[in-house]
Every structure is written in C-alpha cells, then in structure tokens.
Amino acid sequence: AQKITQTQPGMFVQEKEAVTLDCTYDTSDQSYGLFWYKQPSSGEMIFLIYQGSYDEQNATEGRYSLNFQKARKSANLVISASQLGDSAMYFCAMRDPRGSSNTGKLIFGQGTTLQVKP
Amino acid sequence: ETGVTQSPTHLIKTRGQQVTLRCSSQSGHNTVSWYQQALGQGPQFIFQYYREEENGRGNFPPRFSGLQFPNYSSELNVNALELDDSALYLCASRPNRGGTEAFFGQGTRLTVV
C-alpha cells in the first residue's frame, strides 16, 4: 500500500538557520511523484517542490531543496535560511500512480509543525 | 494566490443535516479533487472529478457526493452529517495536461454539532 511517514510532529529552528524535515514513503511502483506542501494557519495548501521518481537530480526551488534518496525511499525537505514566515505545517505527499492517467490523488503524511524562532 | 476559491470559509451544521461546499477552479483546470483534513492530520482523498465525471474515489461512504460543472466550479455534498465529519475540506484543481502540482483552495472548515 502507498504510504507517507513523517516522524517529526514538531520542529524548532532559529531564524536564518537551515532545517531538514523528514519524509519516508512506501510504494511498490517504479513511477511516482513526491511533493511538499506548506499549510499556514489560514488552511491553504501551498505547493513548494516536486520530485519525480525518475529525476536524477534533487529538485530545488529557491530556499527549498528536496534530498531524494530513492534506495532509502526518503524525500526530505531542506529549508535554507529560515524566515519567521516559514512557521507553518509542512506535508509530504505522493501522487498515487495507480488508476487512470488523469488521477491526481495525493497521499499525505501526518505533517510536521515548524516553528521559526527569532 | 492559487486561483482556487472555496465557499463558505466556515460552516456550522447539526448532526443529520446536509451540506454543500463549493469550489471555483482556475480556467482550464478540468480536474478537481476534494480532501478531508481532520484536526492535526494530513488530508485524506475523498474523490476526483475529470470533465464532470467522477474518476477516482477514496475510502468515503456514498453520502459524500460531488458535482463538477463546465464553468470549472464544483460541489461537495455530504448527507446525514455525523460529528466525525467535522474537518477542513480542501478543494484542489490541476490542468489536464502539463504541470504536476495541484492548486489548493483555502478550505472550508465544517463543524458538526
């Protein structure tokens, strides 16, 4: 069964420092996509970064990078130079590769609450 | 700003009642998914609509139903509300071709009393 595991319920980081949020996944499929979303207290899910299973290089988007280790089935999010506005809930998700080509079902982990200290 | 809007933002209903939640997607986004997010949990996939037809469903009972309209809007209907239906309901849309990420609305927080 497809599953996402985030083992850190809460994390603290000092402003301007880097932080790594852990994510492991379980799938028997060879083709899949991995996502990270940020959810502030307002509720909206904000897309941060995407990694395809066949991508050879780790994805990067500004201050966000994804440390993709396929053999370990991990997709950790690294936030560099943390800012106060980064305080939010962070979710790792996997697109379910089963079903039709138009299926966009996302399987989410439990999330990690990140608090950035000034 | 994702271009996906949901209404209402908050709603209180009584157990046994019916509720309709609405979502307006970006133009050209003909795939829409609905998720239920209980407090402190990750979102759970309810179902997906593509070109006005349901083409994927999660582990939710039939009293959860939906509609998608040609103008890129959609609805989530829940009948016979139960206390456990209290949650944040998120709508997500994506284009059929191109792009990989889903664009989420701000959600509707439903409280069942």
The whole-number pLDDT of residue B98 equals: 47
Q: How far apart, in Å, are the Cα atoms of A103 and each of A83, B40, B112? A: 35, 26, 30
Nearest CA in chain A to B97: A102
B86/A67 Cα distance (integer angstroms)? 35
SS (HEC) of chain A: CCEEECCCCEEEEECCCCEEECCEEECCCCCCEEEEEEECCCCCCEEEEEEECCCCCCCEECCEEEEEECCCCEEEEEECCCCHHHCEEEEEEEECCCCCCCCCCEEECCCEEEEEEC
Say which range, A46-50, A52-56, A74-78, B85-89, has the weakest mean pLDDT. A52-56
Q: pLDDT digits over B24-78, tens only?
A: 988 888 889 999 999 999 999 999 998 889 988 999 999 999 999 988 899 999 9
**pLDDT at res. B97:** 52
In the chain, the amino acid numbered A1 is A
Secondary structure (DSSP) of B30-46: -EEEEEEE-TTS--EEE
Q: Does B106 touch chain A (CB under 8 A)?
A: yes
- In the numeric block, the tokens 């599953």 are attached to A3
Task: Evaluate if residue A14 carries a pLDDT over 50.
Answer: yes
- How far is B20 from chain A, CA to nearest CA, in Å? 19
B70 token code pair: 């040609």
Instruction: State whether A106 and B35 contact (CB < 8 Å).
Output: yes
Supply the pLDDT for residue A105. Answer: 84
Nearest beta carbon to residue B31 from set A33, A104, A110: A104
**Residue B96's pLDDT is what?**
66
Is residue B101 pLDDT above 60, yes or no?
A: yes
Q: Does residue B3 register a pLDDT over 90?
A: no
- Round to whole Å and give the CA distance between B8 and B10: 6
Buried b (16+ CB within 10 A) or exposed e, B74-104: bbbebeebeeebbbbbbbbbbbeeeeebbbb
Q: What is the pLDDT of residues B90-100, one digit of tens each?
A: 999 987 654 56
Which of A2, A51, A106 is the mutation pick for testing B, counting most B CBs within 10 A? Answer: A106
Lowest mean pLDDT among A101-110, B1-10, B73-82: A101-110
CB spacing of A106 vs B45 below 8 angstroms: yes
Query: Would you give the distance in Å from CA A23 to the centre of its chain?
Result: 7
Contact of B104 with chain A, judged by CB distance below 8 Å, is answered with yes
Residue-wise pLDDT tens digits, B38-49: 999 999 999 999
pLDDT of residue B21: 98
Phi-psi region of B78 (alpha: psi -120 to 50; beta: other; left: phi over 0): beta
Lookup: tokens for A72: 């370990």
pLDDT surpassing 80 at residue A1: no
Q: What is the average pLDDT value for chain A, to the nearest integer?
A: 92
* pLDDT of residue A116 exceeding 60: yes
Nearest residue in chain A measured CA to CA from B100: A50
